[in-house]
Amino acid sequence: MTQRVIALGFDPGLATTGYGVVRRSSTGWEAVAGGTIETPPATARATRLQKIHEEACALIQAYHPDGVAIEEVYMAKNTRTAMVTAETRGVLLLAAADVPIYCYTPLQVKKQITGYGRANKKQVQLMVKRLLHLAEVPQPDDMADGLAIALCCLIELSGVQAEKHAYL
φ, ψ dihedrals at 73, nearest 5°: -80, 105
Closest CA to 133 of 29, 46, 37: 29
145 catalytic residue (yes or no):
no
Distance CA 168, CA 158 (A): 12
Query: Buried b / exposed e across 77-111, counting CB within 10 Å, b at 16+?
Result: eeeeeeebbebbbebbbebbeeeeebbbebebbbb
Catalytic, out of 11, 55, 87, 156: 11
11 catalytic residue (yes or no):
yes
142 catalytic residue (yes or no):
yes
Catalytic, out of 71, 87, 145, 156: 71
Sheet containing 28-38, strands listed edge to edge, beginning at the edge strand earlier in sequence: 28-38, 16-25, 5-11, 67-71, 101-104
Catalytic, out of 66, 87, 142, 145: 142
Catalytic positions, please? 11, 71, 142
